[in-house]
């Protein structure tokens, strides 16, 4: 199972989340859609928890038509030991993460994405820019391991769909996460 935590800037947790964290767990406990304060000091962030079987399908369902960047994170540079996944809403809004870091993720019309990270505080002012990374469209199109143990996906390249031979219906994404470290 995969433990999914969705972070929101709204208290009802009904809109598209700002950020989605997913980690493998042997036992996964759901909160039955409970929306609660994320618990970051003096910050207004909310979270909802879910248990899912596939991070690609889950991200595609949660974000729908809203642009997003999904990153699979690995414990090695060969992308063989899956650690978890992180998905950002990629519509250019300022996203506050964990009550400290702020980020802006933008999907470009050519298929590439830009990730800007800001510190400290809640703002996304250019004078607070710490890093700016361009994720080339080739990372999305080819789903290859790069940048020290990351694989990137987005709305246009969410993973490869598998088809049922008998019915022709979609049965999920064929790209499965490699073996995990000792999940909790």
Question: What range defines the domain where residue 37 resides?
Answer: 2-89+136-163
- Indicate the pTM of the whole model: 0.79
Question: Is 121 a domain residue?
Answer: no
Report pLDDT for 144: 84
Question: Is 149 a domain residue?
Answer: yes
**Domain total of the chain:** 1
Contact in structure between 105 and 124 (CB atoms under 8 Å): no
Query: What is the arithmetic mean of pLDDT over 34-54?
Result: 79
Of the candidates 124, 125, 122, 154, the one whose C-alpha atom is nearest the C-alpha of residue 138 is: 154
pLDDT at 70 over 70: yes
% of the chain with per-residue pLDDT over 90: 41
Question: Is 126 a domain residue?
Answer: no
Which residues, at least 6 apart from 125, have a Cβ–Cβ distance to it below 8 Å?
118
Question: Is 169 a domain residue?
Answer: no
Report pLDDT for 104: 95
Q: How many helices and strands (H and E) does the chain possess? A: 2, 13
Which residues, at least 6 apart from 116, have a Cβ–Cβ distance to it below 8 Å?
103, 104, 105, 124, 129, 131, 132
Question: Is 47 a domain residue?
Answer: yes
Report pLDDT for 43: 62
Question: Is 171 a domain residue?
Answer: no
Contact in structure between 184 and 25 (CB atoms under 8 Å): yes
Express each pLDDT in 134-178 by its tens digit.
Answer: 999 999 988 888 878 899 998 888 765 332 223 333 322 223 333
Question: Is 35 a domain residue?
Answer: yes
Express each pLDDT in 28-39 by its tens digit.
Answer: 877 666 887 776
């Amino acid at each position: 199972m995969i433990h999914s935590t969705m972070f929101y800037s709204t208290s009802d947790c009904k809109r598209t989340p700002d950020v989605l964290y997913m980690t493998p767990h042997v036992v996964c406990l759901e909160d039955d859609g409970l929306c609660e304060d994320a618990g970051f000091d003096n910050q207004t962030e909310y979270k909802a928890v879910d248990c899912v079987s596939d991070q690609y399908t889950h991200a595609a369902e949660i974000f729908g038509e809203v642009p997003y960047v999904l990153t699979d994170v690995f414990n090695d540079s060969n992308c063989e030991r899956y650690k978890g996944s992180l998905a950002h809403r990629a519509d250019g809004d300022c996203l506050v993460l964990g009550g400290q870091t702020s980020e802006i993720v933008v999907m470009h019309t050519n298929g590439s994405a830009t990730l800007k990270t800001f510190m400290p505080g809640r703002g996304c002012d250019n004078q607070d820019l710490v890093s700016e990374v361009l994720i080339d469209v080739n990372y999305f199109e080819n789903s290859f391991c790069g940048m020290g143990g990351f694989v990137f996906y987005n709305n246009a390249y969410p993973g490869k769909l598998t088809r049922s031979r008998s019915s022709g219906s979609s049965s999920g994404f064929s790209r499965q996460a490699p073996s995990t470290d000792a999940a909790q």
